[in-house]
Structure 1
Amino acid sequence: MNIEDLLRETLSDMAHEEQPPPPDRFVQVRRGRPRGRGLALVAAAAVTAMAVGSTLVSQGLSSSRDVAGQGPGTASVETGRGRITLTVREGLRLSQVLERLSAATGRPQAEFWRAAKDGGALGLPSYARGALEGFAFPGTYEVPSTSSPGEILAAMVTRFNRVAGDGDLVAGARRAGRTPLEILIIASIVQAESADKRDMPKIARVVHNRLDHTPGLRLQLDSTVLYGLGKYGAKASQEDLRSRSPYNTYARRGLPPGPICNPGADAIAAALKPAVGPWLHFVTTDPKRGVTKFAASEAEFLELTKEYRRNLGKAG
């Protein structure tokens, strides 16, 4: 699809759809902020979304280069005069996305952070509460080298809104008894905790089951604790677990206050439609092979923990 076709499609979506969507399906632009749709439209004209979802992103681009020595994530590839390709994989935190976009485009990180704070201009849905974390949709984008940070980020939000609309996120959240933001928070947890996308529906079920359990069970997820502390890794330390952060799901009940990364379509779909099962725990018993197993009882969970420790000893 070329730029003209994308612009024509975007204008058509705004003018009339074959079946009118519910009012909150796509972008809810704040009244008194007309520049929001303007920037989103500019982004649609300037940025061509080449592909989204886990398939292409996980494969990457054969000619992509690592950015700033930080591993696969965002790549910058010249695809023609004055154009570059940006690939953002699922599961990156917003800080990582902005850092990598800065490295790929040569624009200062400060410019991306300023643009990220203007949720109205980016076209964020109202339930985002003005925060971009979770809504910078992963995928591969072809952009003019002159694109501003705001245009690039607005294109990512536009893609999120389209995926959310196609996946019926708002109505699906209502059917699940959650808010759209809660579903996105769950999706971000699923994305962060999944070693294999095939496990996502089961991990989502564990999160839902623990939230719905009477009495409510704390989620007790290292990924949320580490996010709240600005740390990275697979396991939180004992000191980390004593954190007073609102993202400490060992100390606090319920979901953390916001997404902990930017999930892809698979994780969002899993959060909306989790697998059916009684599981209350999951353990990545073999981190090297990415094997995750599930338990419905504390006794089963302890057995999986022992298996994890055995495999960890073999790896050492």
Structure 2
Amino acid sequence: MNIEDLLRETLSDMAHEEQPPPPGRFLHVNGSRSRRRGLALAAAAAVTVLAVGSTFAVQGLSSRTAAPGVLTGQGSGETRAETRNTVTVNEGLRLSNVLKNLSAATGKPLKDFERAAKDGAALGLPAYAKGRLEGFAYPATYEVSPTSSPEEILAAMVTRFRSVAEDADLVEGAKRVGRTPLEIMITASIVQAESGDKRDMPKVARVIYNRLNRTPEMGLRMDSTVLYGLNKFGLAASPEDLQSRSPYNTYLRLGLPPGPIGNPGADAIKAALNPAAGRWLWFVTTDPKKGVTKFADSESEYLKLVEEYNKNRRAG
């Protein structure tokens, strides 16, 4: 059942109620309802969300203007029913930056978005997210109504994630690769951060799984996780960074980090669920300008790729 079906079913039920439901109904899951219906109320019914191609329109329930995407007129004497802000959330963006972008685009205080992001139950996060929004603020383009609250906007992003997760069969797919849904999302966030081209994503996912399967012989050892734990940005962690005691330092700590390091898109999620077949343990972006990434299954081959990278860097 997709988002539109969930909303249609919810609105149909509401149409037969004698009194309008109290506001609190939209923020709490009623235990007597089915799990799917409860999730629809917690996340989708908090806002009006209409698919417009790859764009999602978000409108607060209190708004009395025209439906999202509908104009009242086209002539010089006619005006739009409502002015909207279009916000594009890029794939892989960290939650801290997502919230800053939403605040800048809507003019609503950053602290309000930060406060809303902490209430996972109200946003309709799946149980496996463990109450943390990082990784589940789905990257897409959103048209946001001025009447939308930070809670409604973030709930719409979670709703979009749930739709993508259902399409990808995330929960059952995680079982097939021997991982939990949260581990899939953590892996997908690393794949997103480490891949320069979506065509490389299944191979990057395989490298991650191959390294995890060789624990404690090798460990994950990803610079992207180290930098996330230190709230730094860049392509490579410094020697000092690699000594960090952060739980995201996968050079010193075995296994996956405790949570996603960004908000991955559909391609990264699919790659985590369907890694390529191969024995690779390393990958190097040998030509950053052209976005060329090569993979190696032996240390000697890896060192040759590093030499190729250094050669291209000097030539550039």
**TM-score, with normalisation over the residues of structure 1?**
0.80
State the 1:212 CA deviation: 1.2
Q: CA deviation at 1:91?
A: 0.6
- Percent identity, aligned pairs only? 63
Whether 1:271 aligns to 2:261 is no
Cα distance, 1:11–1:239 mapped onto 2, change above 3 Å? same
Equivalent residue of 1:241, what SS? helix
Alignment-derived partner of residue 9 in structure 2 = 12
Cα drift, residue 10 of structure 1: 1.9
- Tell me what 2:95 maps to: 94
Task: Write the deviation string for residues 232-258 of structure 1: whole angstroms up to 9, x where unpaired.
Answer: 011111100010001001111110000
Bigger-Rg structure (1/2): 2
Are the structure 2 counterparts of residues 296 and 106 from structure 1 closer, same or farther at C-alpha, using a change threshold of 3 Å? same
In 1, distance between residues paired with 2:138 and 2:51?
11
Q: Residue in 2 aligned with 1:308?
A: 309
Inter-partner Cα distance in structure 2 for 1:94 and 1:126: 19
Residue pairs, 1:153-302, within 5 angstroms = 153-213=154-214, 215-302=216-303
> Which letter maps to 1:41?
A
In structure 2, stretches of 5+ residues that fail to align are 14-27, 56-79
Q: Name which of 17, 40, 43 aligns with 1:40.
A: 43
| Contact 1:133–1:259, Cα closer than 8 Å, also in 2 | yes
SS of the residue aligned with 1:120?
helix
How is 1:10-89 mapped onto 2 (pairs within 5 angstroms)? 10-12=7-9, 29=29, 31=31, 38-45=41-48, 47-52=49-54, 81-89=82-90
Q: Is the 8 A contact 2:47 2:153 kept in 1?
A: no
Matches of 1:126 and 1:194, distance apart in 2: 28
**Corresponding residue of 1:57:** none
Contact conserved, 1:51 with 1:139, CA < 8 A, in 2? no
List aligned pairs for 1:100-179, cutoff 5 A.
100-179=101-180
Query: What residue ranges of structure 1 are gaps of 5+ in the alignment?
Result: 17-27, 54-78
Moved more, 209-218 or 100-109: 209-218
Which whole-Å CA distance do the structure 2 matches of 1:118 and 1:97 have between them? Answer: 16
TM-aligned CA deviation for residue 182 of structure 1: 0.3
> Segments of 4+ in structure 1 off by > 6 A?
13-16
Cα pair distance change 1:15/1:270, threshold 3 Å: farther
Give the direction of change, closer, same or farther, for the CA distance of 1:50–1:90 in structure 2 (3 Å limit): farther
Aligned residue in 2 for 1:70: none
1:40 positional shift? 2.1
Give the drift of 1:49: 4.1
Q: 2:9 is aligned with what amino acid? A: S
Change in CA separation of 1:182 and 1:105 when aligned onto 2, cut-off 3 Å: same
SS in 2 for 1:238: coil
Matched residue SS, 1:107: coil
How far has the Cα of 1:89 moved from its partner? 1.2
State the TM-score, normalizing by the size of structure 2: 0.80
How far did 1:13 drift? 7.6
- The one-letter code matched in structure 2 to 1:179 is T
Q: After TM superposition, give the deviation of residue 82 of structure 1 in Å.
A: 2.7
Residue of structure 1 in register with 2:58 after alignment: none
